[in-house]
Amino acid sequence: MKTIIFNIRNGIVITILFLGLNACQQSQINSSMKAPIAEKIEKELSIHGHTRIDPYYWLRERGNPKVIDYLNAENEYKEGMLKDTEGLQGILFDEIVGRIKKDDSSVPYRDNGYYYYIRFKKGKEYAIHCRKKGSLEAAEEILLDGNRMAEGHDYFAIGGKSISPDNKLMVYGLDTVGRRKYTLYIKNLETGELYPESIPMTVGSGSWANDNRWIFYTHKDDNTLRSDKIFKHNLGSSTDDDVLVYHEEDETFSTFVYKTKSDKYLVIGSSSTLSDEYRFLDADTPAGEFRIFQERERGLEYSIGHFNDHFYVICNLDAQNFRLMKTPVDLTGKENWEEVIPHRKDVYLSDIELFRDFLVLAERKEGLINLRVISWETGEEHYLDFGEEVYVANISVNPEFDTLTLRYGYSSLTTPNSTFDYNLKTREKKLMKQQEVLGDFESSNYESRRLYAKAGDGTMIPMSIVYRKGMDRNGNNPCLLYGYGSYGYTMDPYFGSAKLSLLDRGFIYAIAHIRGGQINGRSWYEDGKMFNKINTFTDFNACAEHLIGEKYSSAENLFAMGGSAGGLLMGAIINLQPELYKGIVAGVPFVDVVTTMLDEDIPLTTGEFDEWGNPKNKDSYDYMISYSPYDNVEAKDYPNLLVTTGLHDSQVQYWEPAKWVAKLRDMKTDDNLLLMHTNMDAGHGGKSGRFRYHRETALEYAFFLKLSGINK
C-alpha cells in the first residue's frame, strides 16, 4: 500500500484541525454529543479543463495520527448516538449466534484417497481443518487448528489449502491483518512440522507440480495489490531462489495459477474485465515452458478445463451468453474450437463440471440456476428438479472424475443451506446435510416470492422477497431492500439465519436484482456498467417505488443496504431520490469514484477501467462525475445513515467513506442520524471469526430497529 503524506506539499506546511477525540472525551456519551467536524483543507483536482475542490483529501494520510484520532472520534460519536440500542444489540447478537450450531462440521468430500472436512468446537471462533484416510471411520488428522493459530491476532484468515499429490505435504496461506496479503507456509503432514521458508505477499494459495517438490504461486504487488507475477518455489530452498515463471505486465490484467481437475496440467490465467488468456504446462514437467492456449483478444472471454484428450472451453466467442467448446490438447487456438453446447439468447452458461461418464452444466434461465446433466456415451440429458419459485442451486466441491456422484448446494430465502449428493445415473438425490437453525425456526412460517418492478425505460426488474406469513400489505411494514449491481455478480436469494431477527420483528426482506448483475444473462450486466451505469441506480429506486406503491412498505418504513460497489449504489440512490428511504446502511462504500479511478497507485484501479471507465478519458470522466456519490453530495435532506469501513480495507480504502461522511455532515440540511463505524483491526470483510463479525450485524440491525421504533 502506498502511503501519501500531505503534511508538506509545494513547500507549504499544512495544519489539520478538527473537533476530534479530545472534544468527544469532554462530552458525555449520549444523544446530545456533538459530531466530529473535519476541518476543510482545500485540494484542487484538475483534469480535462475541469477543477474539483476536495476539502477532505487529507483524510487519505493513513500515517497521520490526526486521521486516526478522527476515525476514533467518529467511532465514539457513533457509540454515543446508539447508546440506547446497546441492550438491543446484545439481544440481537445473542439471537443471531444462538441460532448457529456450535459443534458443527461440513460434509466430507473425497479427494485422492482422503476425506476432507472442517469442524467447529463450542466456544471457538475458527474452523479446524481435518481429514481421514480411506474412510470416515478412520482416525482424524488435524491439518490446521484455526483457533490455536489465531491466538494473539485481532484478525485471522486462512487462505487456500493445497495438498501435494503424495498426500504428505500442504501449502496454505495466512492473513493476520485483513488486507488480503497472504503469507504461504508449507507443512509436513507426516511430522506436523513447518518448513523453514515462508512466502509473503501472495494471494493465499499454491499449486503443486506432480513431483511433490515445486509449488507454483501468485505474487501480489505491495502497492496496488494486483496479482502480477507467477513464481515457482522448490521445496526446502530459499525463497530468494524462487523462479519467476510469468509476469503480467498489463496493469489492466491480473494473473493466477491453478491445477486442472485431471491433475494433468498446471494453468496460468490472466484476466481483465473483457479479456482472458491462458497458458498451460504438463504438471509432470515443472521445469518446462508454459504454452499459450489462446492469445488475448479484447472482448474474448473464456475459461478452460481438461478431460481426456480435450480441453473444454466456456467462451463468449460469437455468444453473448457463452457457449461450450472443446479442442484437442495439442491444437488449442480458437480456430480449432468445436461447439459442444450452442449459444442461447435466453440461457446464460455459468459453469461446468466434468466427470468420467457425465457432463454437468450450470445454466441460468429466467433468473434461476438450473443443473443440466448430459451422458458422454449416449448424449441423453435431463435437468434436476428443485420445486421452489425462488431458490439458489450451485455445483459444489467435486474433486474426483471417476464417480457417479454430483455434489451440489441448494438454498432459498426460506430453506436453510443444504448439501445434496446426486447419482447422475439413477437420478437419486440424497440430502447429506441441511444447515441446522437452532431455536424455534420453522421454514413453513415464512413465505418468499418473486416480484417485478418497472424501470423508467420499461424494463422489468426482478426482486426476491421474504416475510413472515400473515404479513398485511397496508404500507406500514418495515422493509429492508438489499442490492449490489456490479461486476456481473448476482445477489442470489440465499438463506441467512441472521435475517430472522428482522423477519420475526415484522420486517420484509427484499433483494433488488438490478442491472449490473447477471441474473438475466450477460446483457443484464452490460446494461448496468460503463455508460449504462445509471441503470443500476434507477433500477434500485424503481424497486423501492414498487414496494411503496404496492403497499409492502412506505417511505417512512423503507430501508436500504449495500456494501462495496453496493455502497456506491447506496450513495447514488440517495443522491437521486433520498425521499424514498427512512435509513441506509452503506458498508465499505466505493463512493469517491472519480478520484479513486484516477489514482493507479491504489488497489483495484487499473483492472477496473472496463467496469467503470477510465476517467483519464473525458467521456468517461464526465459520465462518472455525474453519478459519483461523493462528488454529488448536495445541500438537501438525506435519510438516516450508518456507514461502515475497515482501516485495513484492501478493496475500498477507508478514506472514501470517511470523506463522504465528512462532506455529508457539512452539507446535509436535515437532523437525521449520520454515523460512521470504522473497524480499526480489520479490512473489507470486517471482523474475522465465526461469531465476532455478527457484532456488526447486530449493530446494523439495531440501527434499523431504532429507526422503526422497535426496541426489543
Output the pLDDT for position 111: 96
Helix (H) or strand (E) segment spanning residue 585: strand 583-587
pLDDT at 17 over 80: no
Q: Is 233 a catalytic residue?
A: no
Prediction pTM value: 0.89
Number of Cβ within 10 Å of residue 151's Cβ equals 7
- Of the candidates 317, 272, 308, 276, the residue with the CA atom closest to the CA atom of residue 294: 276
- Of the candidates 499, 348, 476, the residue with the CA atom closest to the CA atom of residue 413: 499
Output the pLDDT for position 651: 73
pLDDT band at 30; cut points 50, 70, 90: low
- Of the candidates 364, 504, 357, 366, the residue with the CA atom closest to the CA atom of residue 439: 504
pLDDT at 92 over 50: yes
Instruction: Find the catalytic residue in 684, 688, 694, 708.
Output: 684
Q: Mean pLDDT across the chain, nearest whole number?
A: 92
Q: Is 564 a catalytic residue?
A: yes
pLDDT at 18 over 60: no
Distance CA 273, CA 284 (A): 32
Q: What is the pLDDT of residues 107-161, one digit of tens each?
A: 999 999 999 999 999 988 899 999 999 999 999 999 999 999 999 998 899 999 9
pLDDT at 682 over 70: no
The DSSP-derived string for 607-669 is GGHHHH--TTSHHHHHHHHHH-TGGG--SS---EEEEEEETT-SSS-THHHHHHHHHHHHH--
- Of the candidates 442, 538, 433, the residue with the CA atom closest to the CA atom of residue 485: 538
Q: What value does the mean pLDDT take over residues 595-605?
A: 84
Instruction: Find the catalytic residue in 649, 677, 688, 694.
Output: 649
Q: What is the pLDDT of residues 461-481, one digit of tens each?
A: 999 999 999 999 999 999 999
pLDDT at 326 over 70: yes
Q: What is the pLDDT of residues 227-259, one digit of tens each?
A: 999 999 999 999 999 999 999 999 999 999 999
Q: Is 649 a catalytic residue?
A: yes
Distance CA 645, CA 679 (A): 6
